[in-house]
Amino acid sequence: MKKLLVLILFLACAVEARAQATGLIANIAGRNHVSLDGQWKAIIDPYESGDQYHFNRDASPKSKSEFQEYSFDATGSLSVPGDWNTQRAELFFYEGAVWYKKSFDYERKGDTRLFVHFGAANYIAEVYLNGEKVGRHEGGFTPFNFEITNLVKEKENSLVVKVDNKRYPDGVPTLMTDWWNYGGLTRAVTLVVVPQTFIEDYFLQLRRGTKNQISGWVKLNGDKLAQKITVRIPEAKINKTFTTDANGTAQINFTADLSLWSPENPKLYNVSVEAETDHVEDSIGFRSIEVKGTEILLNGKPMFLRGVCIHEEAPLRSGRAYSREDAETLLGWAKELGANFVRLAHYPHNELMVREADRMGLLVWSEIPVYWGINFESPVAFAAAQNQLNEMIARDHNRACVILWSVANETPNNPARLTFLKKLVERARVLDPTRLMTAAMLHHYADERTQMIDDPLAEVLDVIGCNEYIGWYDGLPTKADTMEWKTIYQKPVVMSEFGAEAVYGLHGDDLTRWTEEYQESFYRHQLGMLKRIPFLRGTSPWILMDFRSPRRLLPGVQDYYNRKGLVSNRGERKKAFYVMQEFYRELQQRADH
């Protein structure tokens, strides 16, 4: 008996250790997989009794006399993917724990391994299979996976996930945000079947500064780590072979004659990565991105980022966006605005959004939710931020559309924050030496008519993001007319936010707050100011569509919506939409000539 216990303990540890040793599996859709989306049983557990009563075991009473105070079978369901807030009225403001449960059968084919992969769970997820803990994950917007090969049975597996969306002082984000704290299994849940030794991840992009040097790596996971790897891009007549080292990593370097990806030519190649034991296909674009002085160079040519900020808020319905249709609608509106660039605020959006941007030709700024007053002194907060950075980069490092990784939004300028963010920037550059680093930063008045950009964080960035609300939180729209901008850096600046609120259909004169006319006038005065900034290389107004926020309380006007959208949450274009569109058309025409 004792021996058996030791063996069970050993096996449990081995599973846990293996789960931790596995990084994020790249390209889930391109693999042998089974979707677990659909209805999941869900127990709402505000006092977290489930920890004490072992909801993870999901047992049914064995006799009529057995005492048990919970039942997954008798409880209601929630749809996955999906936030819980918009599925049931009583969960609208809920911040706490929900225990999800899904049963599934699984027929193991050959000598395969099985992982359970989560697109995202906000904010902490604890995952159990058949009563055993397989892992815990913190961070509401990035994917994670755990191996369950040794725990899965043929019939009636019980996958239980405790999801907790409480806000934590040491969390990332922390207690205060200006977006809805949608909880739950907000993105797809998938079983991923892979061979014993499989291609865990690969990184194939143009080396920085070149237009024909593909460089990167392929990483195997398993026990046959020494293998031959072939990378094929049939359309570019590429067929190259490499070998992995003792750690299962092969360094990739070769020359290729490619049609480069750009917003005008969003060319994606079918790329196949083959090992002796596994093979994966992907669609990958190749482009170069650099800065030179105050210029941003895409494929060697200076460009202006005609952008717009987007929250992951579902268009034309409510809740978190998660589907391809959501992505097509939101990015379609950005295109209609004349954008060639989107800032996906304020956390990594779902993968379909980035895949669609890649396909549609929209450059992407992707960021982690290091937002406002993070506890920069806390190692817990740092670990959470770094982990989200790792997962964001791991998921999207093969997407040509992504040109900017952002480490923070509007963080206070102090030494603890500077150390924290510099470490993140350094880490990101190790993980991905090809892309540009940025952050959305603040500025200050040098005098009454001059804004100064001198945040020391900019020293380690390639592109300076700057958020400003002159004419909304700071004076009236005309205040922008006489404002000048200065920077101590010879670097490109993107005005990463500016905006004003308006209720679609509310009309008045251009000095009446909340009207479309005020917002329209705000945009006209803003653009006048922005055109005078010599080092400005991009704009992403705040924001494409009205979005839910618990901080926006004005009845009849906001009703828990931040109304700075150029488009309302019902998809109606406000007057300001057309002002921005006209500006982008002019810029595009100038760029074409």
Q: Helices 516-531 and 575-592 meet at what angle, rounded to 10?
A: 30
- Alpha-carbon span 200 to 197, nearest angstrom: 9
Cβ 497 to ligand GCB shortest distance, Å: 5
Cβ 155 to ligand GCB shortest distance, Å: 47
Cβ 409 to ligand GCB shortest distance, Å: 5
Taking the least distance from each CB to ligand GCB, the nearer of 198 and 371 is 371
Taking the least distance from each CB to ligand GCB, the nearer of 288 and 409 is 409
Cβ 179 to ligand GCB shortest distance, Å: 7
Taking the least distance from each CB to ligand GCB, the nearer of 256 and 442 is 442
Closest CA to 520 of 503, 537, 536, 539: 503
Taking the least distance from each CB to ligand GCB, the nearer of 240 and 479 is 479
Taking the least distance from each CB to ligand GCB, the nearer of 474 and 586 is 474
Six-digit token pair at 441?
């930063």
Which value, in Å, is the radius of gyration of the alpha carbons in the chain?
25
User: Of the candidates 564, 565, 580, 583, which one interacts with ligand GCB according to CB under 6 A?
Assistant: 564
- For ligand GCB, which residue has the nearest CB? 178
Lay out the site mask for ligand GCB across 465-494 (x = CB under 6 A, - = otherwise): --x---------------------------
Judged by CB under 6 A, the number of residues near ligand GCB is 9
3-state secondary structure of 26: coil
Cβ 178 to ligand GCB shortest distance, Å: 4
> Would you tell me how many other CB atoms lie within 10 Å of the CB of residue 308?
29
Taking the least distance from each CB to ligand GCB, the nearer of 537 and 564 is 564
∠ CA 494-353-294, nearest 5°, is 15
- Alpha-carbon span 181 to 191, nearest angstrom: 27
User: Of the candidates 405, 542, 561, 583, which one interacts with ligand GCB according to CB under 6 A?
Assistant: 542
Cβ 562 to ligand GCB shortest distance, Å: 5
Taking the least distance from each CB to ligand GCB, the nearer of 101 and 343 is 343
Site for ligand GCB in 357-416 (CB under 6 A): 409-410
Taking the least distance from each CB to ligand GCB, the nearer of 97 and 368 is 368
Taking the least distance from each CB to ligand GCB, the nearer of 244 and 549 is 549
- With binding defined as CB under 6 A, does residue 178 bind ligand GCB? yes
Give every strand in the sheet of 484-487, ordered side by side. 444-447, 450-453, 484-487
Cβ 70 to ligand GCB shortest distance, Å: 38
Cβ 258 to ligand GCB shortest distance, Å: 37
Lay out the site mask for ligand GCB across 65-94 (x = CB under 6 A, - = otherwise): ------------------------------
- With binding defined as CB under 6 A, does residue 497 bind ligand GCB? yes
Six-digit token pair at 115?
């992982």
Taking the least distance from each CB to ligand GCB, the nearer of 162 and 574 is 574
Backbone angles phi, psi at 563, to 5 degrees: -95, 25
Cβ 183 to ligand GCB shortest distance, Å: 19
Cβ 565 to ligand GCB shortest distance, Å: 10
Cβ 442 to ligand GCB shortest distance, Å: 9
- Alpha-carbon span 412 to 455, nearest angstrom: 10
**522-538 per-residue burial string, b: 16 or more CB within 10 A, e: under 16:** bbbbbbebbeebebbbb
Question: In this structure, are residues 198 and 278 in contact, taking their beta carbons and an 8 Å threshold?
Answer: yes
Closest CA to 436 of 480, 413, 464, 404: 404
- With binding defined as CB under 6 A, does residue 539 bind ligand GCB? no
Lay out the site mask for ligand GCB across 308-347 (x = CB under 6 A, - = otherwise): --------------------------------------x-
Cβ 343 to ligand GCB shortest distance, Å: 10
Question: In this structure, are residues 222 and 235 in contact, taking their beta carbons and an 8 Å threshold?
Answer: no
Taking the least distance from each CB to ligand GCB, the nearer of 135 and 541 is 541
Cβ 277 to ligand GCB shortest distance, Å: 46
Q: E strands of 275-362, at which residues?
A: 279-284, 289-292, 295-298, 301-302, 305-310, 341-344
Lay out the site mask for ligand GCB across 343-362 (x = CB under 6 A, - = otherwise): ---x----------------
Indicate the pairing of strand 305-310 with strand 536-539.
parallel
Taking the least distance from each CB to ligand GCB, the nearer of 15 and 353 is 353
- With binding defined as CB under 6 A, does residue 31 bind ligand GCB? no
Cβ 99 to ligand GCB shortest distance, Å: 31
Computed from CA positions of residues 181, 183, 187, 193, in that sequence, does the dihedral angle turn out positive or negative? positive
Cβ 472 to ligand GCB shortest distance, Å: 8
DSSP string, 183-242: -B--S-EEEEEEESSEEEEEEEEEPTT-SSEEEEEEEEESS----EEEEEEGGGTEEEEE
User: Of the candidates 56, 390, 411, 562, which one interacts with ligand GCB according to CB under 6 A?
Assistant: 562
- Alpha-carbon span 435 to 432, nearest angstrom: 6
Backbone angles phi, psi at 386, to 5 degrees: -65, -40
DSSP string, 39-73: EEEEEEETT-HHHHHTGGG----SSTT------ST
Cα distance from N-terminal residue to C-terminal residue, the chain: 81
Closest CA to 367 of 437, 451, 450: 437
Rounded to 10 degrees, what is the CA torsion of 575, 578, 580, 584?
Answer: 180
Taking the least distance from each CB to ligand GCB, the nearer of 203 and 542 is 542
Taking the least distance from each CB to ligand GCB, the nearer of 218 and 494 is 494
Taking the least distance from each CB to ligand GCB, the nearer of 22 and 406 is 406
- Alpha-carbon span 368 to 405, nearest angstrom: 8
Closest CA to 388 of 406, 415, 376, 404: 406
What is the contact surface with ligand GCB in residues (CB under 6 A)? 178, 346, 409-410, 467, 497, 542, 562, 564
